[in-house]
């Protein structure tokens, strides 16, 4: 106890890091399940169904499978770089998440903010500097495999990420002008933040004045994370699996996890910059704690219904009972500790909507051709985000003489 | 405090080792990777010196943009393994001694400069400059050098295009 009171920064930071890592890793695993389920529904299939009730244990089975598969290293590969690449990809993706605040900074425990692993004053620039290094994972993987398809995939992917990073960064500058700060917490709730409403109705989120910037951001973000319709690096029909063709076993899984972690980072940043982060759309009244309670209770009731009518195997019923318990516990936490539970609830809800958007895009859109991708990025997206920046700056100057 | 010292020496050693490996590596990609290591170690050193903005920009611009293009071009050209030559005579008899003299000179001035000795004797480092102060200095006080540099870079880009263009 004495140690804890003497080193609050160290202890609280370590606990936050461990917790974040646990939550993010679990979320990554279940995002794959979510994606497969949603895409399956869009294509009139069942998706994962047999491992656990409704495939709930599929992520676990996948993880075990990846761990026990043979780890093949191509003999002609550049061994150090070959091993370095997946580590680089995953480490950078997870480091970026440490900068994301998921709640207000004035909720303290032992004098330390609860909801941000690190509250950096120039958080946005640090975030961009970390994500900008993410290209190396892809490029080095493609190069070190010493094989034709990975090299082509790595080249394409690097070119794509370099091109779209410009638009991504420029589309955010408009928000920076409005917020007047680089601190991610202050962008949400600082003096020029996104608290309050216009006409007591529309929340003061940056997405409304910065709608063009948001559209540029979300397009560039999907391209940055190499997802459909910009998933050219792994265009199966042309490049087998792109830059990670030669990777197997857990190194492949690391690329996979890095991709999903990047999706989370990008969605979190979109939430913070454009959608008011952890702020509620209704202004944060006392009655709002009933929203998550109703949602979680509804989910619990649906699951109970499922136990009674659909599920046959006793093991599956048991698994769903645990899920019901989980939803009830979440409802209870939101009801009894709204001060602590509401900010993360809104934040996670907004991220979940972005994740659904990602999956939706994957389920419905065809892939770009490479030349279309490049001309779209340089000839349309970049000028539009530049114009957005210029117009925002001009309007800002007129309003703040 | 012992922790900053540990971080300093770890990063300093990483930077020096990276710089040596940059010269010794025969594979161009390995040289580029070593240079990235040097850049990132330097960024951490800036962070220790209380300049987080410069540290972030160092990573963003050098490691995240310029070196990415280096790696990209090396991959695109599929540059082969470097050929070793015996050192050129100029490098051996003039370059190496001059480099050593420069190193000694820099070390001498660092040890005898006023802020250097003050900090070595335990004086507090200056407080980190905020982004606001930095940008005010850059766009008010040093506006002319800043704009002149950007024009110089533009000229360099145009020069590169002119030199690389095929004659028609």
Test the A interface: residue of B39, B46, B64, B139 with most A CBs within 10 Å: B64
Per-position DSSP letters for B103-156, written without gaps between them: HHHHHHHHHHSHHHHHHHTTPPPPPPPPHHHHHHIIIIITHHHHHHHHHHHHHH
Q: What is the pTM of this model?
A: 0.85
Q: pLDDT band at B83, cuts 50/70/90?
A: confident
Distances (CA, A) of A6 to A12, A15, A16, A17, B166: 11, 15, 17, 19, 68
**Under an 8 A CB cutoff, do A162 and B69 touch?**
yes
CA distances from B104 to B26, B41, B108 (A): 28, 22, 6
> Which chain A residues are Cβ-neighbours of B60 within 8 angstroms?
125, 128-129, 132
Q: What is the DSSP letter of A97?
A: H
Whether residue B81 is predicted with pLDDT greater than 80 in this model: the reply is no
The CA distance from B119 to B106, in Å, is: 17
Q: What is the C-alpha to C-alpha distance for residues A92 and A133, in angstroms, rounded to an integer?
A: 7
Per-residue pLDDT of A261-292, as tens digits, reads 999 999 999 999 888 888 888 876 778 788 88
d(CA B42, CA B20): 15
Average pLDDT, chain A: 84
| Best to test chain A binding among B71, B129, B133, B134 (most A CBs inside 10 Å) | B71
Dihedral pair phi/psi, residue A296, rounded to 5°: -70, -40
pLDDT at position B116 is 63
Kindly state the percentage of chain A with pLDDT values over 70.
97
Task: Please indicate whether, in this complex, the C-beta atoms of A132 and B33 are within 8 angstroms of each other.
Answer: no
Look at B41-45, B51-55, B99-103 and tell me which has the smallest mean pLDDT: B51-55
What pLDDT score does A74 carry? 81
Chain A: closest CA distance from residue B75 (Å) = 7
DSSP state of A115: S
In this predicted structure, what is the pLDDT of residue A236? Answer: 63
Distance from CA of A195 to the nearest CA of B (A): 23
Q: What is the ipTM, given to two decimal places?
A: 0.78
Chain segment A59-81, per-residue pLDDT in tens: 888 888 888 888 888 887 788 88
Mean pLDDT of chain B: 83
Enumerate the residues of chain A whose CB falls inside 8 A of the CB of residue B130: 121
Q: Are A223 and A230 in contact (CB under 8 A)?
A: yes
Counted across chains A and B, CB pairs separated by less than 8 A come out at: 72
Look at A120 and B76 and tell me if their CB atoms are within 8 Å: no
Asked if the model's pLDDT at residue A117 lies above 90, the reply is no
Nearest to A133 among B27, B64, B69 (CB): B64
Query: Residues for chain B: how many in total?
Result: 168
Work out the pLDDT band at B149, boundaries 50, 70, 90: very high
Looking at residues A311-329, what average pLDDT do you find?
A: 84
Cα separation, A279 vs A293, whole angstroms: 17
For CA atoms B147, B149, B154, B158, the dihedral sign is: positive
User: What is the average pLDDT across A25-34?
Assistant: 89
User: What's the pLDDT at A178?
Assistant: 85
pLDDT tens column, B107-136: 888 777 776 666 666 666 666 677 788 888
Interface of A with B (CB under 8 A): 78, 80-81, 84, 120-122, 125-126, 128-130, 132-133, 135-136, 139-140, 142-144, 151, 154-155, 158-159, 162, 182
Higher pLDDT, A51 or B157: B157
Residue with the larger pLDDT of the pair B22 and B165? B22
Interchain CB distance below 8 Å, A129 and B64: yes
Residue whose structure tokens are 């219904």: A305
Instruction: Write down the pLDDT at residue B144.
Output: 92
């Amino acid at each position: 106890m004495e140690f804890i009171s003497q080193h609050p920064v160290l202890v609280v930071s370590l606990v936050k890091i461990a917790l974040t890592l646990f939550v993010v890793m679990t979320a990554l695993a279940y995002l794959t399940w979510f994606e497969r389920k949603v895409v399956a529904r869009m294509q009139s299939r069942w998706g994962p169904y047999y491992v656990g009730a409704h495939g709930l244990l599929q992520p676990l089975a996948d993880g075990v499978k990846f761990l026990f598969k043979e780890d093949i290293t191509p003999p002609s590969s550049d061994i150090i770089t070959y091993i370095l690449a997946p580590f680089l990809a995953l480490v950078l993706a997870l480091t970026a998440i440490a900068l994301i605040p998921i709640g207000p900074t004035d909720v303290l425990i032992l004098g330390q903010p609860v909801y941000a692993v690190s509250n950096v004053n120039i958080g946005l620039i640090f975030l961009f500097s970390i994500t900008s290094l993410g290209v190396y994972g892809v490029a080095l993987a493609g190069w070190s495999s010493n094989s034709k398809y990975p090299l082509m995939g790595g080249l394409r992917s690097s070119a794509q990420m370099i091109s779209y990073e410009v638009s991504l960064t420029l589309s955010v500058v408009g928000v920076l002008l409005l917020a007047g700060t680089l601190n991610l917490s202050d962008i949400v709730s600082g003096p020029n933040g996104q608290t309050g409403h216009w006409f007591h109705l529309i929340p003061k989120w940056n997405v409304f004045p910065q709608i063009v910037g948001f559209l540029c951001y979300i397009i560039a973000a999907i391209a940055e994370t190499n997802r459909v319709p910009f998933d050219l690096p792994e265009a199966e029909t042309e490049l087998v699996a792109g830059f990670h063709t030669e990777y197997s076993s857990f190194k492949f899984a690391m690329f996979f996890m890095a991709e999903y972690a990047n999706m989370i980072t990008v969605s979190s940043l979109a939430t913070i910059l454009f959608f008011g982060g952890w702020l509620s759309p209704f202004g944060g009244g006392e009655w709002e704690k009933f929203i998550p309670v109703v949602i979680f209770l509804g989910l619990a009731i649906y699951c109970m219904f499922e136990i009674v009518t659909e599920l046959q195997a006793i093991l599956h019923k048991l698994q769903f009972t645990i899920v019901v318990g989980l939803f009830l516990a979440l409802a209870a936490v939101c009801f009894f500790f709204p001060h602590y539970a509401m900010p993360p609830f809104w934040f996670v809800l907004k991220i979940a909507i972005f994740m659904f958007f990602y999956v939706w895009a994957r389920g419905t859109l065809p892939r770009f051709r490479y030349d279309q991708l490049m001309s779209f990025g340089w000839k349309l997206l970049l000028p539009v985000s530049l114009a957005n920046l210029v117009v925002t700056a001009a309007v800002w100057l007129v309003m703040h003489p | 405090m012992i922790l900053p010292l540990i971080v300093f020496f770890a990063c300093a050693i990483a930077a020096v080792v990276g710089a040596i490996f940059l010269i010794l590596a025969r594979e161009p990609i390995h040289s580029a990777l070593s240079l990235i290591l040097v850049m990132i170690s330097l960024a951490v050193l800036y962070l220790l010196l209380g300049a987080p903005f410069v540290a972030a920009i160092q990573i963003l611009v050098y490691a995240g943009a310029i070196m990415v293009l280096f790696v990209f071009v090396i991959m695109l050209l599929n540059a082969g393994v470097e050929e070793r030559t015996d050192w050129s005579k100029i490098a051996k008899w003039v370059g190496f001694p001059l480099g050593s003299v420069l190193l000694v000179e820099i070390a001498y001035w660092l040890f005898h400069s006023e802020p250097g000795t003050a900090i070595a004797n335990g004086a507090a480092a200056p407080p980190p400059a905020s982004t606001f102060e930095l940008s005010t200095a850059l766009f008010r006080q040093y506006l002319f050098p800043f704009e002149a540099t950007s024009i110089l870079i533009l000229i360099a880009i145009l020069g590169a295009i002119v030199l690389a263009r095929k004659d028609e």
